[in-house]
């Protein structure tokens, strides 16, 4: 992969921040956008914008073709069996809420179980808390190993014939670990449960095949994979989507409306009420084209190399604690520096033009498991380089020196 050529396609990277060349190490929160995605969204608004599905005029047809074309492209990208297994949402959070509110609340009852893990992002935790409270189901957790990984033996113990839903992140946004989703899916299915996968941190970085995983639902967001904000999708097996009720009502999701009764379109359209995020879908399709042109396998290989390099580089710095295993991780490193708050670390690095994330990363239960209140996180993507990791390491040394003098 030609990193220089890749970087040239991201206009935002060619700037200085606080007098220094920008080093953007916060892609796990939101990735930057290549020129092709920016141009696709702009071109849609300049030439093709109209509402979809209803209009019979030329612009309406163009917009509808672009929107439904994006649905088909996502289906191919995930290797879904049918484009109608793709529901457009506002992102991963909305997709997971849809499954928890529509599917889980319909199938769960008192005595049933919903199984998740302590490493889940709040978006894949709170909806299941609420579903359990609403139905009387029990929320259970697969425990973490000391290094933050999951044990299939533990999963076999926690998932039982009472389990209706297993919901697990494919990749932890804090620990960087890649969970054995395919094996967990098999365990869930043997016990009669469905498997829900939070793919927010996996979809941008590796090739995903939902048929091979055999998961029942898979959620992801465009903005973490070079696409626009405010758009994402839910993959759901056709048989499951067909039995689910919508949770939002209004225009474009209806079949017929009477004064006192209404009926809905077939899935996925029953879940897409109102005017959809058309430009976002166009941008997401362009992002998929961009990523596939480079190659997900190449991106995965590049990021794993960066993660290993960063792990070793930061491990050499006294007082730096890294969370999660060295191996089998995607391109992010979560860490703390002794006696320096992560927000202070981030502030000093920002003065050097280095953007990282600091806080609990929407994973407060995981922070408590790690016995910390917050951490710093540097996350890498296809446009990052080892030289930028060197600058991160230098910045951390400067941070330690600055606070050492301040304390002294």
CA gap 200, 227 in Å, rounded: 12
- Name the helix (H) or strand (E) containing 128: helix 126-135
CA gap 283, 317 in Å, rounded: 41
**CA 109 to chain centroid:** 29
User: Does 363 participate in catalysis according to the annotation?
Assistant: no
Q: Which two tokens stand for residue 359?
A: 């806080």
Cβ–Cβ < 8 Å for 136, 109: yes
Strand partners, 149: none
Instruction: For tokens 């060349």, name the residue.
Output: 21
Q: Which two tokens stand for residue 165?
A: 């839903």
Cβ–Cβ < 8 Å for 257, 249: no
- Name the helix (H) or strand (E) containing 200: none
SS3 content of the chain, % helix, strand, coil (to 5): 45, 20, 35
**Which residues 6+ apart lie within 8 Å of 335 measured at CB?**
314, 320, 321, 322, 323, 375, 376, 377, 378
User: Does residue 209 sit in helix, strand or coil?
Assistant: coil
CA gap 220, 87 in Å, rounded: 11
Q: Which two tokens stand for residue 128?
A: 């299941």
Out of 215, 226, 362, 363, the active site residue is 362
Q: Give which of 87, 120, 127 is closest to 232, Cα–Cα.
A: 87
Start-to-end Cα distance in the chain: 46
Strand partners, 264: 254
CA gap 339, 319 in Å, rounded: 9
CA gap 23, 161 in Å, rounded: 49
Active site residues: 362
């Amino acid at each position: 992969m030609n990193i220089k050529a890749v970087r040239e396609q991201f206009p935002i990277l060619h700037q200085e921040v606080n007098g220094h060349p920008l080093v953007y190490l916060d892609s796990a929160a939101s990735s930057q956008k290549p020129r092709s995605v920016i141009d696709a969204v702009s071109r849609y608004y300049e030439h093709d914008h109209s509402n979809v599905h209803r209009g019979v005029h030329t612009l309406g047809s163009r917009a509808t073709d672009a929107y439904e074309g994006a649905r088909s492209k996502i289906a191919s990208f995930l290797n879904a069996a049918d484009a109608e297994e793709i529901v457009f949402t506002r992102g991963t959070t909305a997709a997971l809420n849809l499954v928890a509110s529509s599917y889980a609340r319909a199938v769960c009852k008192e005595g049933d179980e919903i199984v998740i893990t302590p490493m889940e992002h709040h978006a894949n935790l709170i909806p299941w808390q609420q579903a359990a409270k609403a139905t009387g189901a029990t929320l259970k957790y697969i425990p973490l190993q000391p290094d933050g990984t999951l044990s299939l033996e533990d999963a076999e113990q926690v998932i039982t014939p009472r389990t209706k839903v297993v919901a697990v992140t494919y990749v932890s946004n804090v620990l960087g670990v890649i969970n054995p989703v395919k094996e967990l899916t098999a365990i869930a299915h043997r016990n009669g449960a469905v498997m829900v996968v939070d793919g927010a941190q996996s979809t941008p970085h590796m090739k995903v095949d939902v048929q091979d995983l055999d998961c029942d639902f898979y959620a992801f967001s465009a903005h973490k994979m070079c696409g626009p904000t405010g758009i994402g999708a839910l993959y759901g097996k056709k048989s499951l989507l067909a039995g689910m009720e919508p949770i939002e009502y209004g225009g474009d999701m209806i079949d017929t409306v009477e004064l006192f009764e209404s009926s809905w379109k077939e899935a996925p359209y029953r879940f897409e009420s109102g005017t959809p995020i058309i430009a976002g879908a166009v941008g997401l399709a362009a992002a998929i084209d961009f990523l596939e042109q480079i190659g997900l396998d190449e991106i995965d290989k590049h990021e794993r190399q960066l993660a290993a390099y960063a792990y070793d580089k930061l491990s050499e710095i006294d007082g730096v604690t890294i969370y999660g295993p060295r191996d089998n991780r995607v391109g992010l490193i979560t860490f703390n520096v002794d006696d320096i708050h992560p927000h202070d670390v981030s502030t000093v690095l920002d003065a050097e033009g280095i953007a990282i994330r600091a806080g609990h990363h929407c994973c407060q239960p995981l922070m408590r498991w790690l016995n910390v209140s917050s951490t710093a996180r540097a996350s890498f993507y296809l446009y990052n380089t080892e030289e930028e990791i060197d600058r991160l390491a230098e910045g951390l040394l400067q941070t330690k020196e600055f606070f050492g003098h301040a304390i002294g």
